[in-house]
Chains A and B, each alone.
Chain A
C-alpha cells in the first residue's frame, strides 16, 4: 500500500509535545562548557549621536566578564544585502557614532550568567544627542531627513517590470488607453512581526579540534556557517554549525543576524564559549519585520469587467539598514499580474530607508504584497464597473489551457487552473446563498452586516530563479536508512515527509528511516528551508537519491544472485530483490547493504529544478461586521490552495492552517507600530495582536491538485500560500460588508476603530 497521498502522522510530534525537543538554549555540549552569557545594550532613540558610553559600573559588577563597544569590535560592517542595494548603507556590528533605530545594539555585555548580563546591560549608561528621525516611509522618500547622510539619499534600491505594451516605462495615459473604468488607490500593507515561538538564539565555542562549533536557531545552516567564516576571516571548514530543533522561523531566520556573528566573534576574542538567547521584546524590536509597503494601484478596463491595464507603484520601507526587505519588491513585481490575463501591467518600486528596524523576509516575502494589492484593486475595479467581484475575476483569469503562461511582467507560470480553484471555493461556500443572506440583512437594516471577500492568487516558490538541493541516502547493513538532506525544518515536518518518500521508494518502513538535517558536518551543502522550497527541491532530491540507491542495490543484488543488474527487481512490499521479480527469499536490503561494506550502501543526488513552481488558489472569507462598533468577526474561511501533488495532506493542511491564521492576523489585528519618534509601540505580545484559536473559525479546506511537470513529485510549495490568499480575502470581505454604507476601502489591519472610521467618513461624505 502506498504511503503517498496519505495522512501519515508526524513522527516529530511526540518529542515536541512532551517537552523533549532540544532548542539552542537547551543544548549542552562539551564545547559550551562554562559558557558566558551575552546581553545587548540597545538604543532607546531612533536617531541620535552617541555622546558617551559609561560602562564603568557595569564592568565592576561581580560576574561581568566584559563590556565591549564599537571601538573594540574589529569587524568590518555588514555590507548591504546585495549589489542592487545602495552600498553606502552598511550596518556596523555595534553602533559607534550614530544610532539609526530603536533597538540598535550599542554595547555588548558578557557575564557568567544570563541574569547578571541583563543587570549589567541595564547598568551601562549611554548618553545620546537625539537627531531628527524619519519614521514614515512616504516622508523618508522625500529625502528631507537622511538616515545615512553619507549616502545622500534614502532610496536604497529601485525595481521595475512590465510597462505599456511590454515596454518598460510606458506612461500612464498609454497604459490606460481605451479603459472605460479606471480606479486608483493608495493601500497600506502594514509592517508585521514574525513572532516565532523560539526567539533568536545562538551558542558558540571552540573545540579541541580547533574549530568553532556553533548552534544557531536558523533556517539556513550551511549559508549561516559561510557567513560566520567570511565575517570572521576563518578558512572554509573552520566553523561547524548545527541548527537543532528550531522553534519557528517564518523568514527572519534566513541567514544570520549581526548579533549572531558578534557572539561567534566574542567566543574567539574572549577565548571562551558564549551564548545568547534574546527576550521577546528584543525579538520583536530587533529581529526584522515583514511587509511594510505603501502601494498605489491603478486598474482600468471595460465596463463589461475586462481588465485591460494595471499599474502597481510600491514604496518599500527597508528600515534603517537594507536587508532582504529592500529587495523583496522584485518578487512583488514578478507576481504583479497575479492570476489574470491583463494585457498591460507596469510595476515600479523604490525601497527607502527609515529610522526603524530593517525589514526582511516574512511568510510569502514580497508575494503576499503583490496579491494584496491586486486583489484589492480588482474589487475596486468591480465596484467601479458595478459588477460582482467573483464574476470579474472569472472573466479575467488565465484559462486553464494556456499554460505555461507568460504574464505582462515577464513571469512564466508552469501550470494552473485558476477558474477551477475559484469555482470550487464558491461552490463549497455557497456563494449565491451567502449573497442572498447579505441582501436580506441589508433589506432588514441589520446592524450586523455580512461581508464576502474573494481572493485569487498565484505565487512563486523555490526562489525566483531555478533552485537546487542535495540529498544523500544510506542503507546501513542493519537495514536501517539514513537520509541526509540540505533542507532544514523549523516545524514543517520534514522528518515525516522525507521518511515517507524514502520508505515509498525503497520499500523499507518509514519507522526505519532517520532523517538528518541542519548539521554542517553531516550535511555540508544545502539551501535550508525558505520560500516553500523544501519538498519540491529537497524532497525530490531524496526521491532521486533513493532511485539511484535502488539502482546501486540492484547491481549489488545481481552480484549476490549471479544475474545482471537490469534483470534484478526490487519487491517494494517485501523489501527483497529477485531476478525478474520471481519473488522468494532473495537478498534483503540488509543483505545488499552488508555486502557493500560496513558503511552500507549510499547514493547522492542533486536535484536542479528547471524553473520555480507557481502554486495558486482561491480564498473566500465570510465576516460579520458590527456596524456600530466596527468589530469584525471572521465567520468562515473557505480555501483552495493548490500546491501540485500532495505528499501528505495532514502536513499540507498544517501549513495551510498556520498560513491562513497568519494572513488573517495581518488582515484584522497585527501591526508593528512605531510612534512619530520611532519608538516601537507593539514590541510585546500584549500590545502586538497575534490571533489565537479563540479568534478564528475552523477553516474549510477544499482539496485540489494540479501537478507540475517541473519535478518528478509534481509538487509545488505550500508553506506560504495560506498567508498569501487569506489577507486580501478577509480585507475584501470587510469592505464588502460595508459597501452599502458607501465604504470602498479599509486599510490593513481592519481594526474596529479603522472600520468605524471608514463608516463615519463614508456617511459624512454623503
Chain B
C-alpha cells in the first residue's frame, strides 16, 4: 500500500512533460488523474523511478468545435465529458460512456487521455472512441503525429505511444443524429465493465454500422464478423451470433471466457436492436 520510492516532477507545459519523458526514458511515467496509476503504484505493480505530473496542465482540458469534429484535450476529466453540451450534441456516446465510469469521485479526477493511454481492454471511453473512429494526437520530441483509434490499442495496458510521447488530444468525428447504443454489464454500479458493446450507425444508413467490444480480449476490439454480416444484409439476430468471433476473452475474477462470449452475443444483439428503434436516444443495460 506504500509505493516504491520515486522522484516527483511537475510539468509546467506539454513541452516540458515531453522533455522529461525523453530525459528519463522508460523510467518515467506521466501522472494525470492518477486513478489507474496510483492504485498500480500502491500495489507495487508499477514502480517508475520518475513521475511526471501533468494533472494541472489546464491547457489540455478543453472541448472545441472544429467543424467536422470535436477536439478534446487529453486532460479533460470524465465528469466534464459527461456534462459538456458539445459532447452531448455531437458525440453523445462519449458523454454517456463517460457517465458510466466508476463513481463520481473517479469521474471527477480521471482524464480522457489517462483512460486511453492506460489501454485497459474494458475501458468505457476506449471502446467508445474506437466505435466512433476517433483520431488521437500524440506529441513527442519530434513533434506531433496522429494515430487512428483502431491502431492505438496494442496490447493489455500497452498503447501505440512511444515512451517519450504524450497523448494530447482526441478528435471525435461529429455524429449528431447518428443512432448509437451502449450496452454494458458490470458486477456493481461502480465496477469496470465485464463486457460492453458500443454500436454506432443505422442498418441501411449511409455509413456502415460499427460495433466495438470491451472486455473481449487484450484490447478493445471491433466486432468485424458482426459488421461484415450486417454489411452483407444479414438480420440482426444472425449477425449478433458472431459477436465473439475472433475474440479472445479472458477468464478472471469477474467472469469466465465462456460467459463473456455469451454476453457479447446478447449485448451486440441488444445494441443492434436498439439502433433500429426510432427515435434513438441511446440506451444502456444497467
Residues of B32-51 at the interface with A, using a CB-CB cut-off of 8 Å, are: 39, 42-44
Q: How many A-B residue pairs have CB under 8 A?
A: 64
Contact code string A674-687 (vs B, CB < 8 Å = 1, else 0): 00000001101011
Binds A, one of B57-65, B164-172, B182-190: B182-190
Interface residues, chain B, CB within 8 Å of chain A? Answer: 1-2, 4-5, 39, 42-44, 103, 185, 187-191, 194, 253, 255-256, 259, 262-263, 266-267, 285-286
Q: Is A11 part of the contact surface with B, judged by Cβ < 8 Å?
A: no
Contact status A629-B187, CB under 8 Å: no
Q: Is A626 part of the contact surface with B, judged by Cβ < 8 Å?
A: yes
Q: A629-B266, A629-B285, A695-B189 are in contact. Are A752 and B194 (CB under 8 A)?
A: yes
Contact status B266-A281, CB under 8 Å: no
Identify B1's interface contact among A279, A628, A631, A692, CB under 8 A: A279
Q: With A and B bound together, what is the CA distance between A757 and B2 in angstroms?
A: 40
- Chain A residues whose C-beta falls within 8 Å of the C-beta of B2 in the assembled complex: 114-115, 118-119, 279
- Of all chain B residues, the one with the shortest Cβ separation from A631 is B185
Of B5, B44, B255, B259, which is in contact with the most chain A CB atoms at under 10 Å from its CB?
B259
Q: With A and B bound together, what is the CA distance between A282 and B253 in angstroms?
A: 19
**Interface size counted on chain A using CB atoms at 8 A:** 32
- Chain A residues whose C-beta falls within 8 Å of the C-beta of B44 in the assembled complex: 122
Q: With A and B bound together, what is the CA distance between A281 and B267 in angstroms?
A: 34
- Chain A residues whose C-beta falls within 8 Å of the C-beta of B253 in the assembled complex: 673, 681-682, 687
Contact status B4-A119, CB under 8 Å: yes
- Chain A residues whose C-beta falls within 8 Å of the C-beta of B194 in the assembled complex: 752
Q: Is A492 part of the contact surface with B, judged by Cβ < 8 Å?
A: no
- Chain B residues whose C-beta falls within 8 Å of the C-beta of A631 in the assembled complex: 185, 285-286
- Chain A residues whose C-beta falls within 8 Å of the C-beta of B263 in the assembled complex: 629
- Of all chain B residues, the one with the shortest Cβ separation from A199 is B1
Q: Is A394 part of the contact surface with B, judged by Cβ < 8 Å?
A: no
Contact status B259-A122, CB under 8 Å: no
A193 → chain B, closest Cβ, in Å?
Answer: 13
A280 → chain B, closest Cβ, in Å?
Answer: 6
Residues of A243-289 at the interface with B, using a CB-CB cut-off of 8 Å, are: 279-282
- Chain A residues whose C-beta falls within 8 Å of the C-beta of B5 in the assembled complex: 115, 119
Contact status B188-A626, CB under 8 Å: no
Q: Is A126 part of the contact surface with B, judged by Cβ < 8 Å?
A: no
- Of all chain A residues, the one with the shortest Cβ separation from B262 is A756
Q: Is A691 part of the contact surface with B, judged by Cβ < 8 Å?
A: yes
Q: With A and B bound together, what is the CA distance between A756 and B256 in angstroms?
A: 12
Q: A631-B285, A753-B259 are in contact. Are A689 and B266 (CB under 8 A)?
A: no
Residues of A615-666 at the interface with B, using a CB-CB cut-off of 8 Å, are: 626, 628-631, 633
Known: A629-B263, A631-B285, A692-B189. 16 other contacts (CB 8 A): A114-B2, A115-B2, A280-B1, A626-B285, A628-B266, A633-B286, A673-B253, A687-B253, A689-B188, A689-B191, A692-B103, A694-B188, A752-B187, A752-B255, A756-B262, A757-B259
- Chain A residues whose C-beta falls within 8 Å of the C-beta of B286 in the assembled complex: 631, 633
Q: Is A396 part of the contact surface with B, judged by Cβ < 8 Å?
A: no
- Chain B residues whose C-beta falls within 8 Å of the C-beta of A691 in the assembled complex: 188
The 3 A-B pairs of least Cβ separation, nearest first, read A279-B1, A694-B189, A118-B2
A619 → chain B, closest Cβ, in Å?
Answer: 21
- Of all chain B residues, the one with the shortest Cβ separation from A675 is B253
Q: With A and B bound together, what is the CA distance between A633 and B266 in angstroms?
A: 18
Identify B188's interface contact among A118, A673, A692, CB under 8 A: A692
- Chain B residues whose C-beta falls within 8 Å of the C-beta of A280 in the assembled complex: 1
A676 → chain B, closest Cβ, in Å?
Answer: 13
Q: A684-B43, A692-B103 are in contact. Are A669 and B187 (CB under 8 A)?
A: yes
- Chain A residues whose C-beta falls within 8 Å of the C-beta of B285 in the assembled complex: 626, 629, 631
- Of all chain B residues, the one with the shortest Cβ separation from A117 is B2
Q: Please, could you name 5 A-B residue pairs with CB atoms under 8 Å apart, sorted by A?
A: A119-B2, A280-B1, A692-B190, A695-B189, A751-B187
B38 → chain A, closest Cβ, in Å?
Answer: 12
Q: With A and B bound together, what is the CA distance between A753 and B185 in angstroms?
A: 11
- Of all chain B residues, the one with the shortest Cβ separation from A280 is B1
- Chain B residues whose C-beta falls within 8 Å of the C-beta of A689 in the assembled complex: 187-188, 191
Contact status B185-A694, CB under 8 Å: no
Q: With A and B bound together, what is the CA distance between A753 and B257 in angstroms?
A: 10
Q: A122-B44, A681-B253, A756-B259 are in contact. Are A694 and B1 (CB under 8 A)?
A: no
Q: With A and B bound together, what is the CA distance between A686 and B191 in angstroms?
A: 8
- Chain B residues whose C-beta falls within 8 Å of the C-beta of A673 in the assembled complex: 253
Q: With A and B bound together, what is the CA distance between A692 and B43 in angstroms?
A: 23
- Chain B residues whose C-beta falls within 8 Å of the C-beta of A119 in the assembled complex: 2, 4-5
Contact status A752-B103, CB under 8 Å: no
- Chain A residues whose C-beta falls within 8 Å of the C-beta of B185 in the assembled complex: 629, 631, 752
- Chain B residues whose C-beta falls within 8 Å of the C-beta of A626 in the assembled complex: 285
Contact status B189-A686, CB under 8 Å: no
Residues of A470-498 at the interface with B, using a CB-CB cut-off of 8 Å, are: none
Q: With A and B bound together, what is the CA distance between A628 and B270 in angstroms?
A: 11
